[in-house]
Structure 1
Amino acid sequence: MDLDPSEHTIDELRDELDGMDDPEALEALREAEADGENREGAKEAIDERLESVSDDGDEGDGNESSESGDGESSETEGREDAPESDGTGVGIIEIRNHVRNAASDLIGRPLDGIVEIERDDEGWRALTEIVERSSVPDTQDIIGRYALDIDDDGRITGYRRLDRYRRGDTRRDEEPQVPR
């Protein structure tokens, strides 16, 4: 195996996986990730590619069904690069999935949640909450609210911390003012 997943960010790994068609090599890569850094986003990216390669190999066996058990097409299920149906670029679901997979790796702390995603003139903006310090009880966790800027192709182009607060702080119920 020439590819070491620990040497790549999840986005870089996704790019490298696009050229891989060998299910055995992908399985070995997933095992290396699980034994190494064990990043959920990286394992999901490898699983998605493995599923894509497996689906391509099933086309000639007479099994024409491309529906997964939940009624969604397996071709677009979970892919961050699936375009919106109107062809204008990635959609909100793809942006959400990408932010979910990349935010904790980018910022270096666990993702607590995605608060908001909106489209603007320059692309997309996502507000996330990241656990900056875990505490017991968890109401004393320190949470950082981050804005991530995402271009029309779904690539994160920047991020910044907007605020820090304790999880139990009730002032969080107010709408924050987000500088742009």
Structure 2
Amino acid sequence: MSARRADDDTEDGGRSDRSQCRTAAEAAAAAIAQLADLTSKATEGATSAEPIEDGWLVEVEVLEDRRIPASSDTLALYEVELDPDGNLVAYRRTRRYARGSTDIGARGTS
């Protein structure tokens, strides 16, 4: 049996347009849901979503360690790569920090 191409127009062989992430919001929602499933950690939300050549690159903020008071929680940023259909291809933690840190957006700056 031969593999089918993504643009097949047959009813049983082609991918549905409904499964594709067409907007940043759809990509962010897919990344959040799949990362939460994989890590079993609470997600705080997406901090960025950008189209790339083979899908989407989404940055998701995750609660790594819940503490009391909440202002001392440890959060992390994860980079999530999705294919055009919204399937997780790769993910990696890029940064850990305390909730309320003010230097989160200061990559490469002093």
TM bin, normalised by shorter chain, reads: 0.7 to 0.9
Aligned amino acid, residue 64 of structure 2:
E
Unaligned runs of 5+ in 2: 1-16
How far apart are 1:102 and its partner, in Å?
A: 1.9
More strand per residue: 2
Deviations 1:118-174 (A, max 9, x none): 001121000001100001111111001100000111110010000000012111142
Runs of at least 4 residues of structure 1 off by over 3 A? none
Q: Which blocks of at least 5 consecutive residues in structure 1 are unaligned?
A: 1-80, 84-88
**TM-score normalised to structure 2 length:** 0.73
Structure showing the higher helix proportion among its residues: 1
| 2-structure distance, mates of 1:146, 1:157 | 13
User: SS at the partner of 1:105?
Assistant: helix
- 2:21 aligned partner: 90
Q: In structure 2, what is the equivalent of residue 168 of structure 1?
A: 100
State the TM-score, normalizing by the size of structure 1: 0.47
Distance 1:90 1:170 in 2: 32
Structure number with greater CO (CA < 8 Å, separation at least 6) is 2
1:136 aligns with 2:68: yes
Whole-Å separation in 2 of the counterparts to 1:138 and 1:173: 21
The reply on whether 1:106 has 2:38 as its aligned counterpart is: yes
What does 1:31-180 align with in structure 2 at a 5 Å threshold? 82=18, 89-92=20-23, 93-174=25-106, 176=107
